[in-house]
Amino acid sequence: SKGHLVMKSFSLVPQGDKSLLLINAGMAPLKPYFTGAEIPPRTRVATCQKCIRTGDIENVGKTARHGTFFEMLGNFSFGDYFKHEAIAWSWEFLTKVVGLDPERLYPSVYLEDDEAFEIWNKEVGIPAERIFRFGKEDNFWEHGAGPCGPCSEIYYDRGEKYGCGKPDCTVGCECDRYMEVWNNVFTQFENDGNGNYETLQNKNIDTGMGLERLAVVVQDVDSIFDVDTICSLRNLVCEVAGKEYGKDYQTDVSIRLITDHIRSATFMISDGIMPTNEGRGYVLRRLIRRAARHGRLLGIEGTFLAKLSAEVIQGSKDGYPELEEKKEFIFKVLTNEENQFNKT
Ligand code: GLY
C-alpha cells in the first residue's frame, strides 16, 4: 500500500561483497542501491530475505530466540522516504495490519537522535517515558563494511511470564520478556571497513523484522521453535529420535539445535554452497556435523538429515522454489557429509 516493489529473496551467497561470508540481513544484498553504486529497480523495495547468522551459534538450542537461520522482512527506501514515514508506517503495520496491542509496544532511539524521539513522541503520540534511548551497541546498525546508521527499534512486551523477575527488568533486558520485533535503520553513512564514516549522498531507510520473532509474538508461543511452521519440523526431529519435547533440558537443546541447523544447511546447499574446509563451506560443514552429532546424542542410528531436509523443503518451497528444484542434490550432499562424518 506504500508503493514498494516486492522483490524475491536474494541468494545466501553475497555477490561482490567481500566483507560477508553469508547474507545476514535484508539490507545486505541491497548495499549497492544504498551507496548509489547501482540504480535500484524502484526507490521503494520490500523483501523477505533468507538470512544466516552464526555469531551466536553456541547459544542455539539453549535459548528461546537464538537460531542461525531466519527470514527477514524489510521495506527499503533508496533516497526516497526517510524517518517520518518509516516510523509512522512501522507503527501502522504493527498496530493496524498485524493488530498488536499498542500498549505493549515500546520504541527505542539512538542516544543522540532527538529527531526520531520527537517523531515518536509528537507525531505517533508515544509518551516520553515509554521511549527508550540506547547507545551505539543497541541502536546503531552496521554489519561488515558498507551502509549503516542510527536506528529506532520497536520492542513488544510478551508479559511477566517470559520475564527474568529482576526488579529492574525493562526494555533492553537480556531476558525473553521484551522482544525486539522491528528495526528502522536510518542509513546515512558508509563505513569503509576500518571505522571511517562517510556521509552518503542519499538518506535511506533499511528496516528489519524477523518473521520468526513476529510469529512468536503473534502466536504467543514460548520460542521460535514453537512457531507453527517450525514446530512441524521440530516434531519430526522428535519422531525420528523417538523423544518427547519438553521433558528433559539436554534432549530439548539437541532437538532445537538440529531443527535450526537443518534449516540453515538445506537453504545453503540450495544456493550452491558445498561442505568444505574453509569459508562459507566450512560454516556449512560445521552446521551439518553439529546436527549429526546431536542426532547421535539423541540415540538416532544411521543417516537422518535428508529426511528432515525434506520437511524443510515442504514447508518453504512456495516462497523459495529453488529448494524443490535442488531437492535430490540437497539430500545427496547432506547424506554424503553425514556418512563421511560418521566414518571419522
Ligand atoms: N537491517 C536491519 C535489521 O536487520 O535489523
- pLDDT by residue (tens digit) across 110-121? 999 999 999 999
SS3 289: helix
Average pLDDT over residues 3-21: 95
Confidence (pLDDT) at 142: 87
Ligand 1 centroid to residue 195 C-alpha, Å? 19
Confidence (pLDDT) at 65: 78
Domain enclosing residue 137, as ranges = 5-219
C-beta of 25 in contact with ligand 1 (< 6 A)? yes
User: Residue 104 — pLDDT band, cuts 50, 70, 90?
Assistant: very high
Confidence (pLDDT) at 144: 74
The answer to whether residues 181 and 144 belong to one domain is yes
Confidence (pLDDT) at 140: 94
Whether residue 64 has pLDDT greater than 90: no
| Domain final residue, candidates 195, 219, 243 | 219
Whether residue 323 has pLDDT greater than 90: yes
C-beta of 181 in contact with ligand 1 (< 6 A)? no
Ligand 1 centroid to residue 151 C-alpha, Å? 9
Nearest CA to ligand 1 atom 5: 208
The answer to whether residues 131 and 36 belong to one domain is yes
| Domain final residue, candidates 194, 219, 244 | 219
CATH number at residue 88: 3.30.930.10
The answer to whether residues 250 and 150 belong to one domain is no
Ligand 1 atom nearest to 143, measured from its CA: 1
The answer to whether residues 47 and 152 belong to one domain is yes
* Residue in this structure with the C-alpha cell 563421511, named with its chain if needed: 340
Confidence (pLDDT) at 174: 86
User: Residue 175 — pLDDT band, cuts 50, 70, 90?
Assistant: confident
Ligand 1 atom nearest to 153, measured from its CA: 5
* 81: Cα within 13 Å, side-chain hemisphere: 19
The answer to whether residues 99 and 234 belong to one domain is no
The answer to whether residues 291 and 152 belong to one domain is no
pTM (2 decimals)?
0.94
| Domain final residue, candidates 219, 237, 267 | 219
Confidence (pLDDT) at 103: 97
The answer to whether residues 280 and 184 belong to one domain is no
User: Residue 327 — pLDDT band, cuts 50, 70, 90?
Assistant: very high
Nearest CA to ligand 1 atom 3: 208
Pairing of strands 146-157, 178-191: antiparallel
The answer to whether residues 89 and 154 belong to one domain is yes
The answer to whether residues 45 and 140 belong to one domain is yes
- Percent helix, strand, coil in the chain, to 5, is 45, 20, 35
Distance in angstroms (rounded) separating the CA atoms of residues 323 and 259: 17
Distance in angstroms (rounded) separating the CA atoms of residues 222 and 287: 24
Confidence (pLDDT) at 79: 96
The answer to whether residues 154 and 78 belong to one domain is yes
C-beta of 183 in contact with ligand 1 (< 6 A)? yes
The answer to whether residues 160 and 282 belong to one domain is no
How many domains does the structure of the chain reveal? Answer: 2
Whether residue 331 has pLDDT greater than 80: yes
C-beta of 208 in contact with ligand 1 (< 6 A)? yes
CB atoms within 10 A of CB 115: 17
Q: At what angle do helices 249-270 and 279-297 cross, to 10 degrees?
A: 150
With left for phi above 0 and alpha for psi between -120 and 50, is residue 79 left, alpha or beta?
A: left
The answer to whether residues 149 and 192 belong to one domain is yes
Three cell numbers, residue 110? 539512538
Model confidence pLDDT, tens digit, residues 218-277? 999 999 999 999 999 999 999 999 999 999 999 999 999 999 999 999 999 999 999 999
Average pLDDT over residues 291-307: 97
- The lowest-confidence range among 1-5, 158-162, 183-187 is 158-162
C-beta of 148 in contact with ligand 1 (< 6 A)? no
Mean residue pLDDT across the chain: 95
Question: Would you call 198 exposed, middle or buried from its count of C-beta atoms within 10 A (0-12, 13-18, 19+)?
Answer: exposed
